[in-house]
C-alpha cells in the first residue's frame, strides 16, 4: 500500500513478557472464540469481570432488523455494587481517584472506602428527594469527585443518569431535560477553567425557566459562589449529606441486565442530538474488559484518561471501566495549558501515571508549544499511551511517541463511538507492531466489515475505501435512542439491513490493519467532539437577519476539523462584523462554546442542485481552499455562485 508508514515495535518484546495477551496467535484464538463461540466465551468474561446477583439465562438474543439486542438476559446485577461493594473490603484503602484541581494547589486522594461511603450517602439523598428506579437524573457537573459519586448513586438506586458536558449551554441543557423527562438536576455553583470561574448553576437556572417539570435541584458548592437557593426546590449538596437521619448504607437496587444505566446525548447528521441509551450488563462488561486488556492495565498501575466525563470516553474509562476493575485513576478538573503548557506532565510525574489516554487534538496543541514543556518532567513512569476521538495525523503521532513515549511506549489508537459503549478497533500492546494512524485490529467480539454504502457489497482489494459496518452485536452497544426506537433503527440499522452502520469511512490494508478515514455523514469532529452540521445551521437561521445557512467542516491544524458557515442574509441586511459576532454568540448560546464557528462567510447565494439541494461537497472544498479540485459542477443550477464564493473565502490564521 502506498505510503505505508514505518512499523513501530520497540515495546513488543518487553510487552510479550508481561502482557495479558502475548501474541498475535493468542489474540487470533481468543478473537475467533469471541465471534464463533459466543455463549462460552462471553459467559467466561462476564464471570471474570462482573458479579451478578442472579446469573443470566441466555447470553445473546438479537434481531438487527428491529434493533432488539439482549445480552445476559435474565441476569440481575447492580453497577454500583460492581464498582464499589464488590471490592470495598479488599481495596478499602486503595486510591480510587487522585483528584487534581484546576488550581494546582488543590488536590484530593479518594480511596475506595471513601467513594463507597459518599455514593451510599448520596444515593440516600436521591431517595429522600423522591428519585425512584427508572427515573432520569440530569447531572451537570465539572470534573470533580462528586460527578462519579452522583453517577454511581443513580446506578445504585436504579435511576438513569444523563450527564451533560459543562461546555453545553442553557439551551442545550433545557432540550436534554425535556427530551429525557428528568425531574431532578444535580449541579454545582460553578466550576473553574484556567483560573476563571464558570457559572454552571446560572446555566441551569436559565434552562429551568423552560423546564417546569423539574422539581428538585441539588447544588454542590465548589467555587464558593454566594448563591441564593430557591427553597421551594433547590437544596445544597453539603446540607443534604449532613442530615443525621440519612442512612449510611443503601441496598443496591437489583437491576436486569437490560435495564437502562445511562443516557448520553450525541450529535448525528440530522435533527437534534440523540439520547443514546446504554444498559447494564453488556456495557459494564465491555468497559471493564477493554479497560484492562487494551491498556494492559495491572492492578497496581495508575491510569489517566483525560477526557471529560461528560463524554462517553469519561463514562467508560474514568468511571465504569476503572472502578469495576478496582483500578486507580486520575480525575483532572483543569485544562492542559494552565498554569503552564506542562500541566499534564506535571500531573503524570506527580502521580506516577503508568498509562495515559488522550485525544489527538490535545497532542497537536501541546506539540505546537514545543517539547521543552515535556522535557521539564520525569515521565519515566509511563508505559503505554492511548488516543481516541479522531484519526491521528503522523506528525502528532511521532511527537507523542518520541517526546512523551520515549520512542518505546506503544500507542493504542482506539476507534469507537458513543453508541459502541467501549473500544472497538484498537491495537493490543503485545499482539503486533503498530502503524501510526491505524487502529489495527478489532477487539474481541467485534466483527467489522467495509462495504460500499450504496450497494452493500464488500470492498474487493486492500486499501479500498468504503463505509465501516459491524456485522454482529457486541456487549457494549447502545440499545436504543431514548424515546425514539425508530430513530435508532433508521440511523444505525437501515443503511444496509442487518448491520450496524458506524457513519465512518475506513479501509483495511494488506496486513489486515484498519484505517479510519473519518465521518462520511454530515457530522463534524471538532477537537474530538461530534457536532451535526444541521444543529449549527438551525442555530444560525434563528437569527432574524439570516435567510439561509450551510455549515461544513474544514481541516483545522489543531482541532482536526473546524466549523465553517456560509450564511445568506435577508435582502438589504448589512454584512457587518458586528452581525458576524452576533451570529457566533447565537450559536454559543444555542449549543455551547464547543460549537463556536471558526469562520463565517457571507454568501449571497449557495450552490444548489436543480432540485434545490445544497451542494455540501462543493462547500467543503471551498472552505478547505481546494479550489482547483472542485469536481463535477455540471449539476449546479447557477455555476456563477461558486466563483463568488471562492473569491470570498475566509482564510484563518489558526
Ligand atoms: C469515543 C468517541 C465517535 C467518532 C467516530 C469517529 C471518530 C473516534 C477515533 C475516531 C479515528 C479513532 N473517532 N475515535 N476516528 N480514529 N481512534 O470519540 O466517541 O464522541 O461518539 O465520536 O469519532 O469518526 O465515529 P464519539
Instruction: Give the residue from 596, 425, 433, 455 showing the smallest Cα distance to 517.
Output: 425
CA of 467 to the centre of ligand 1 (A): 14
Cell of 364: 497537536
Cell of 225: 459562589
Q: Tell me what the mean pLDDT of segment 550-560 comes to.
A: 94
DSSP 8-state class, residue 442: B
Cis omega before residue 359 (within 30°)? Answer: no
> Which amino acid residue places its CA nearest to atom 15 of ligand 1?
390
- For all residues of the chain together, what is the average pLDDT? 95
Q: SS3 letters for 602-626?
A: ECCCCCEECCCCECHHHHHHHHHCC
Q: Tell me what the mean pLDDT of segment 14-40 comes to.
A: 98
Asked if residue 167 belongs to a domain, the reply is yes
Residue 388 near ligand 1, beta carbon < 6 Å: yes
Evaluated on CA atoms 460, 464, 465, 469, the torsion sign reads: positive
pLDDT band at residue 653, thresholds of 50, 70 and 90? low
* Residue 563: predicted pLDDT: 97
Asked if residue 451 belongs to a domain, the reply is no
For 564-599, b/e burial (b = at least 16 CB within 10 A) is bbbbbbeeeeeeeeebbeebbebbbbbbbebbebbb
Q: Which ligand 1 atom sits closest to the C-alpha of 387?
A: 17
Residue 240 near ligand 1, beta carbon < 6 Å: no
Residue 268 near ligand 1, beta carbon < 6 Å: no
pLDDT band at residue 560, thresholds of 50, 70 and 90? very high
196 is in an annotated binding site: yes
CA of 530 to the centre of ligand 1 (A): 8
423 is in an annotated binding site: no
> Which amino acid residue places its CA nearest to atom 23 of ligand 1?
389
Gap between the Cα atoms of 65 and 63, Å rounded? 5
CA of 141 to the centre of ligand 1 (A): 23
* Residue 1: predicted pLDDT: 40
Cell of 10: 520497540
Asked if residue 483 belongs to a domain, the reply is no
CA of 307 to the centre of ligand 1 (A): 13
What are the backbone dihedrals phi and psi of residue 207, each rounded to the nearest 5 degrees, phi first? -60, -40
Cell of 145: 469527585
Instruction: Give the residue from 372, 384, 315, 323 showing the smallest Cα distance to 348.
Output: 384
CB 528 within 8 A of CB 560: yes
* Residue 453: predicted pLDDT: 82
pLDDT band at residue 639, thresholds of 50, 70 and 90? confident
> 640-647 and 616-624 helices cross at what angle (nearest 10)?
30
Q: SS3 letters for 372-397?
A: HHHHCCCCCCCCEEEEECCCCCHHHH
* Residue 269: predicted pLDDT: 78
Map residue 537 onto helix, strand or coil: helix
Map residue 76 onto helix, strand or coil: strand
Gap between the Cα atoms of 181 and 175, Å rounded? 10
Paired sense of beta strands 274-279 and 255-256, if any: unpaired
* Residue 652: predicted pLDDT: 80
* Residue 553: predicted pLDDT: 95
The reported pTM is: 0.94
632 vs 416, residue with greater confidence = 416
Asked if residue 235 belongs to a domain, the reply is yes
Gap between the Cα atoms of 405 and 399, Å rounded? 9
Residue 317 near ligand 1, beta carbon < 6 Å: no
Residue 289 near ligand 1, beta carbon < 6 Å: no
- State percent of the chain over pLDDT 90: 91
Q: Which domain range does residue 616 map to?
A: 527-648
471 is in an annotated binding site: no
Q: Tell me what the mean pLDDT of segment 576-599 comes to.
A: 96
Instruction: Give the residue from 532, 573, 567 showing the smallest Cα distance to 553.
Output: 532
Query: Has residue 2 got a pLDDT over 50?
Result: no
Last residue within a domain, chosen from 256, 280, 308: 256
CATH of the domain at 118: 3.40.50.980
* Residue 157: predicted pLDDT: 98
Q: Which ligand 1 atom sits closest to the C-alpha of 425?
A: 17
* Residue 631: predicted pLDDT: 76
Residue 525 near ligand 1, beta carbon < 6 Å: yes
389 is in an annotated binding site: yes
CA of 293 to the centre of ligand 1 (A): 19
Residue 360 near ligand 1, beta carbon < 6 Å: no
Query: Has residue 429 got a pLDDT over 50?
Result: yes
Asked if residue 239 belongs to a domain, the reply is yes
* 124 to 153, 248, 406, 518: CA distances (angstroms): 8, 8, 48, 44
What domain count does the chain have? 2
CB 139 within 8 A of CB 167: no
Last residue within a domain, chosen from 209, 229, 256: 256
* Residue 447: predicted pLDDT: 98
CA of 390 to the centre of ligand 1 (A): 5
Residue 519 near ligand 1, beta carbon < 6 Å: yes
> Which amino acid residue places its CA nearest to atom 22 of ligand 1?
417
Partners of 514 in beta bridges = 440, 508
Partners of 532 in beta bridges = 523
> Which amino acid residue places its CA nearest to atom 2 of ligand 1?
417
Partners of 356 in beta bridges = 304, 385
> Which amino acid residue places its CA nearest to atom 12 of ligand 1?
415
**What does the pLDDT look like over 304-322, one tens digit per residue?**
999 999 999 999 999 999 9
Residue 416 near ligand 1, beta carbon < 6 Å: yes
Query: Has residue 411 got a pLDDT over 90?
Result: yes
**What does the pLDDT look like over 518-549, one tens digit per residue?**
999 889 999 989 999 989 999 999 999 999 99
Residue 417 near ligand 1, beta carbon < 6 Å: yes
Q: How many CB atoms lie within 10 A of CB 509?
A: 14
* Residue 61: predicted pLDDT: 98
Residue 561 near ligand 1, beta carbon < 6 Å: no
Query: Has residue 448 got a pLDDT over 90?
Result: yes
CA of 539 to the centre of ligand 1 (A): 24
DSSP 8-state class, residue 105: T
Query: Has residue 11 got a pLDDT over 50?
Result: yes
Gap between the Cα atoms of 436 and 414, Å rounded? 12
Helix (H) / strand (E) element for 256: namely strand 255-256
Residue 518 near ligand 1, beta carbon < 6 Å: yes
Query: Has residue 443 got a pLDDT over 70?
Result: yes
Q: What ipTM was assigned to the predicted interfaces of this complex? A: 1.00
588 is in an annotated binding site: yes
* Residue 351: predicted pLDDT: 98
Residue 237 near ligand 1, beta carbon < 6 Å: no
Query: Has residue 633 got a pLDDT over 50?
Result: yes
CA of 636 to the centre of ligand 1 (A): 33
Query: Has residue 255 got a pLDDT over 80?
Result: yes
Asked if residue 654 belongs to a domain, the reply is no
Asked if residue 40 belongs to a domain, the reply is no
Residue 418 near ligand 1, beta carbon < 6 Å: yes
Last residue within a domain, chosen from 206, 234, 256: 256
Query: Has residue 430 got a pLDDT over 70?
Result: yes
368 is in an annotated binding site: no
CA of 239 to the centre of ligand 1 (A): 40
Asked if residue 373 belongs to a domain, the reply is no
**DSSP string covering 478-520:** --EETT-HHHHHHHHTTTTTTSEEEEEEEEE-TTS-EEEEEES
CA of 518 to the centre of ligand 1 (A): 8
Ligand 1 pocket test: pick from 437, 525, 594, 595 the residue with the most ligand atoms within 8 Å of its Cβ.
525
Cα dihedral: 209, 156, 419, 586 (round 10): 20
Residue 560 near ligand 1, beta carbon < 6 Å: no
CA of 578 to the centre of ligand 1 (A): 35
Partners of 450 in beta bridges = 468
**What does the pLDDT look like over 183-217, one tens digit per residue?**
999 999 999 999 999 999 999 999 999 999 999 99
Residue 71 near ligand 1, beta carbon < 6 Å: no
351 is in an annotated binding site: no
Ligand 1 pocket test: pick from 400, 441, 442, 530 the residue with the most ligand atoms within 8 Å of its Cβ.
530
Query: Has residue 3 got a pLDDT over 50?
Result: no
Amino acid at each position: 500500500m502506498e505510503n505505508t508508514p514505518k512499523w513501530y515495535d520497540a515495546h513488543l518484546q518487553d510487552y510479550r513478557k508481561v502482557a495479558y495477551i502475548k501474541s498475535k496467535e493468542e489474540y487470533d484464538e481468543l478473537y475467533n472464540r469471541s465471534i464463533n463461540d459466543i455463549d462460552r466465551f462471553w459467559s467466561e468474561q462476564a464471570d471474570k469481570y462482573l458479579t451478578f446477583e442472579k446469573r443470566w439465562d441466555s447470553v445473546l438474543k438479537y434481531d438487527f432488523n428491529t434493533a432488539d439486542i439482549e445480552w445476559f438476559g435474565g441476569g440481575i446485577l447492580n453497577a454500583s455494587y460492581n464498582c464499589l461493594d464488590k471490592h470495598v473490603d479488599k481495596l478499602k484503602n486503595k486510591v480510587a481517584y487522585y483528584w487534581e484541581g484546576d488550581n494546582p494547589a488543590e488536590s484530593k486522594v479518594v480511596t475506595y472506602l471513601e467513594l463507597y461511603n459518599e455514593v451510599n450517602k448520596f444515593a440516600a439523598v436521591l431517595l429522600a428527594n423522591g428519585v425512584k428506579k427508572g427515573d432520569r437524573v440530569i447531572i451537570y457537573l465539572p470534573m470533580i469527585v462528586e460527578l462519579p459519586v452522583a453517577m454511581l448513586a443513580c446506578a445504585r438506586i436504579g435511576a438513569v443518569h444523563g450527564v451533560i458536558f459543562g461546555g453545553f449551554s442553557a439551551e442545550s441543557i433545557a432540550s436534554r431535560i425535556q427530551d429525557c423527562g428528568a425531574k431532578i438536576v444535580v449541579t454545582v455553583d460553578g466550576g473553574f477553567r484556567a483560573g476563571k470561574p464558570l457559572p454552571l448553576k446560572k446555566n441551569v437556572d436559565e434552562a429551568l425557566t423552560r423546564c417546569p417539570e423539574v422539581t428538585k435541584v441539588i447544588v454542590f458548592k465548589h467555587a464558593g459562589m454566594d448563591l441564593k437557593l430557591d427553597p421551594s426546590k433547590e437544596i445544597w449538596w453539603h446540607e443534604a449529606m449532613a442530615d443525621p437521619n440519612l442512612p449510611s448504607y443503601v441496598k443496591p437496587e437489583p437491576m436486569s441486565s437490560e435495564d437502562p444505566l445511562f443516557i448520553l446525548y450525541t450529535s448525528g447528521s440530522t435533527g437534534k442530538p440523540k439520547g443514546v441509551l446504554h444498559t447494564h450488563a453488556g456495557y459494564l462488561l465491555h468497559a471493564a474488559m477493554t479497560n484492562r486488556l487494551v491498556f494492559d492495565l495491572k492492578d497496581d498501575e495508575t491510569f489517566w484518561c483525560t477526557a471529560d466525563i461528560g463524554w462517553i470516553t469519561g463514562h467508560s474509562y474514568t468511571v465504569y471501566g476503572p472502578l469495576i476493575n478496582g483500578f486507580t485513576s486520575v480525575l483532572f478538573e483543569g485544562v492542559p495549558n494552565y498554569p503552564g503548557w506542562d500541566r499534564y506532565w506535571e500531573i503524570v510525574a506527580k502521580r506516577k501515571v503508568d498509562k495515559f489516554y488522550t485525544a489527538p487534538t490535545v497532542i497537536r496543541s501541546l506539540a505546537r508549544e514545543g517539547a521543552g514543556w515535556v522535557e521539564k518532567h520525569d515521565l519515566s513512569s509511563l508505559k503505554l499511551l492511548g488516543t481516541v476521538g479522531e484519526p491521528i495525523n503522523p506528525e502528532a503521532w511521532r511527537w507523542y511517541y518520541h517526546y512523551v513515549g520515549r520512542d518505546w511506549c506503544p500507542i493504542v489508537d482506539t476507534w469507537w463511538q458513543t453508541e459502541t459503549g467501549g473500544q472497538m478497533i484498537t491495537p493490543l500492546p503485545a499482539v503486533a507492531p503498530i502503524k501510526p494512524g491505524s487502529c489495527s485490529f478489532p477487539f474481541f467480539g467485534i466483527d467489522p466489515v467495509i462495504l460500499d454504502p450504496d450497494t452493500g457489497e464488500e470492498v474487493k482489494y486492500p486499501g479500498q475505501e468504503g463505509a465501516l459496518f459491524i456485522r454482529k452485536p457486541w456487549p457494549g452497544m447502545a440499545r436504543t435512542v431514548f424515546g425514539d426506537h425508530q430513530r435508532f433503527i433508521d440511523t444505525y440499522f437501515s443503511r444496509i439491513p442487518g448491520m450496524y452502520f458506524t457513519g465512518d469511512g475506513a479501509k483495511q490494508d494488506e496486513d489486515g490493519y484498519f484505517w479510519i478515514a473519518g465521518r462520511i455523514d454530515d457530522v463534524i469532529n471538532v477537537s474530538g467532539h461530534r457536532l451535526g452540521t444541521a444543529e449549527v445551521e438551525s442555530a444560525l437561521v434563528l437569527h432574524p437577519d439570516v435567510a439561509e445557512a450551510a455549515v461544513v467542516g474544514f481541516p483545522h491544524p489543531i482541532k482536526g476539523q473546524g466549523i465553517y458557515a456560509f450564511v445568506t442574509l435577508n435582502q438589504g441586511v448589512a454584512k457587518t462584523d458586528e452581525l458576524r459576532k452576533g451570529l457566533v454568540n447565537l450559536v454559543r448560546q444555542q449549543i455551547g462554546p464547543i460549537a463556536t464557528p471558526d469562520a463565517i462567510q457571507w454568501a449571497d447565494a449557495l450552490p444548489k442542485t436543480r432540485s434545490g439541494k445544497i451542494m455540501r461537497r462543493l462547500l467543503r472544498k471551498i472552505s478547505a481552499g481546494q479550489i482547483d479540485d472542485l469536481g463535477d459542477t455540471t449539476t449546479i443550477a447557477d455555476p456563477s455562485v461558486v466563483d463568488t464564493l471562492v473569491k470570498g473565502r475566509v482564510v484563518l490564521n489558526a
